[in-house]
Structure 1
Amino acid sequence: MDRRTLLGTGAAAIALGGGFLWTQRGQQGAGSNLLVGMANAQTAEAVEIPDMVLGSADAPVEVIEYASYTCPHCASFHANQFKQLKENYIDTGKVRFVYREVYFDRFGLWASMVARCGEGARFFEISDMIYEKQREWTASGDPATIADELQKIGKIAGLDQATLDACMQDGAFAQSLVGWFQENADRDGINSTPSFLIDGEKYANMSYADFASVLDGKING
């Protein structure tokens, strides 16, 4: 199955888009940029990035997904296999599920910052919407339009403008996310998305039937 290939060295510079993190349209529709100096971000204290987790801490199997919000195959996985996995394994206490973001570009980084906004209280709700609307918010390729579309998703989930602005102007947060992603990818040998670690063993994307077979083997083994 085709998967998107992870960016190699220089991912931080690519993800951060040459120094600005967030482009926001003004209230009157005229474009205005909210610029974050990368020098300031790099000298700021690093922010701790927590894993986002679903399921019981005592589940017999742990599944870690590495995925990108701009990856079509990741969107397909979340629209299909993931819903069945959640119903049959995560919600039933059989699997502890950990989601870790991968950044191919600044737009995926922005999406992650929106999803984690508000201390991640609505992370999985926002993530679901980001994947469901992936074609819509990425369609233009225009940074200002993409920023507007991501803001709309955040607001639908209940985030207000002030909260979104505070999250998206946080250069230290963005820099820490990129460093966290690179550390994870290097340690776990992640070179494409979606990729999975099931009890520490790496797997590529697969059908629900194949996923269930692997999980059942580990649960019953």
Structure 2
Amino acid sequence: MALKDRLDDAILSTPPENAKRRATLEAVKAAAGGLSDAEIQSAVATLIAEREQKAGSFAAAGQTELAKAERAECDAMRAVLRAGAPQPQAAPKKAAAPKPSAAPEPPPEEHKPLFTRNQVILGLVVVVLAFVAGYFVFHRSGSTSGAANNTAIVVQPEDRTLGNPNASVVLLEYAAPTCPHCARLNETLIPKIKQEYVDTGKVLYVFRAIPLNPVDGAVEAIARKCLPADKYFQFLDLMFRNQPKWDPDGYKIDDVGGAVKQMARIMGVSPDDADRCMTDQKELDRINQVGAEAYAKYKVDHTPTLIINGVTVDDADMSWPQLKAKLDSLLSKK
């Protein structure tokens, strides 16, 4: 059955009293345009990303019930996609030899992947091999929880870090340059952590960028390829603090590529060098791999996500008093 038909069935089967769920499904249908499977998949991916952003905002503000409600709607949209995904075939039973007159069995129908998409980076014909935002959308396993993951953090040579590399506590942040909640965390919470724990040598801070869209990949590539390592955090801080000037996520930016290059110029990067860096396919592949590993190791499905000594911090605990208590508790055991 086509996704359009499954979507119509889902709308018709939604109880009248569940107006929010019906509105969610109707929004998918309205955004899908021609209602082909590919258009519905693309619309669902976009709407889920928007809903996840809202959920993260509610969670950061301590409004956990509203955050849960938003994520419930995301799960409903994912259910539409799962319903249209190819189903595994049962193992065939061993059959008796066919009679000579029996017609040959037709070859099994080849199933196409549920969702494949080529991305164009800032108007340039550059294929992103792993669209990580889509990866998160289709592999999400529920909200992250500190009890669910306990994988030791292994600092890689390519990681960007601050603080004492021999610190007993390692705090890993996964974030995206275009993420407004990441920008807010960078402005409010992270400076306190740096001042009290990182600058004093108690905690090693590790930052890994996840490309939720092509612009994130472009910004991270400039930070990595066009600037020395000791300027990395300075550039990201500049981008976070000036999102309204270049970020297409929530802002009307006519020329995103030009705006990004203008921000890079502030750091002394020429437009030509910026173009070269943000279209470096090897670097883009590495950036996308960071996102894939984030999900594989820690089930990271939204930004920002904090992980302390291998344990994912629940969204509800991402406040200064709770994080401070968690860090102090870990440090007291060393």
Instruction: Output the CA distance in 2 between the equivalents of 1:13 and 1:123.
Output: 32
Tell me, what secondary structure is at the counterpart of 1:59?
Answer: coil
Structure 1 residue 174: Cα displacement: 1.0
- 1:184 deviates by 2.5
Counterpart position of 1:21: 121
The 3 A distance-change label for structure 1 pair 76 and 60 is same
1:120–1:184 CA distance, 2 compared to 1 (3 A): farther
- Deviation per CA, 1:159-216, whole angstroms, max 9, x where unpaired? 2233212212212221221123212222111112111110111103411121111111
Deviation at 1:52, TM superposition (A): 1.0
Matched, 1:130 2:230: no
* Structure 1 residues 49 and 19, CA gap change in structure 2 (3 angstroms): farther
Task: Tell me which amino acid in the other structure corresponds to 1:217.
Answer: S
Other-structure match for 1:217? 329
User: What is the RMSD computed on CA atoms of the aligned residues?
Assistant: 2.8
Equivalent residues, number:
196
For 1:192, what is the secondary structure of its paired residue?
coil
Distance in 1 between residues matched to 2:164 and 2:157, nearest whole Å: 20
Q: Which residue in the other structure is 1:159 paired with?
A: 269
Matching residue of 1:103: 211
* 1:114–1:150 contact (8 Å) kept in structure 2: no
Determine if contact 2:208/2:290 at 8 Å carries over to the other structure. Answer: no
Q: 1:151 to 1:74 in 2, by over 3 A?
A: same
Q: Kindly tell me: are residues 218 and 168 of structure 1, through their superposed partners in 2, closer, same or farther at Cα, counting changes over 3 Å? A: same
Q: What amino acid is aligned across from residue 2 of structure 1 in structure 2?
A: A
**3-state SS, counterpart of residue 2 of structure 1:** helix
Q: Which shifted more, 184-193 or 78-87? A: 184-193
User: Percent sequence identity over matched residues?
Assistant: 24
Contact 1:56 1:93 in 2 (8 A): yes
- Cα distance in 2, alignment partners of residues 53 and 60 from structure 1: 14
Tell me the residue number matched to 1:81.
Answer: 189
CA distance in 2, matches of 1:65, 1:120: 21
Match among 125, 129, 133 for residue 35 of structure 1: 125
Point out the structure with the larger strand share.
Answer: 1
Larger Rg: 2
SS at match of 1:116: helix
- Structure 1 residues 115 and 136: alpha-carbon distance in aligned structure 2, compared to 1, 3 A threshold: same
- Greater RCO (CA < 8 Å, at least 6 residues apart): 1
Q: Take 1:19 and 1:84, find their aligned partners in 2: how far apart are those partners?
A: 37
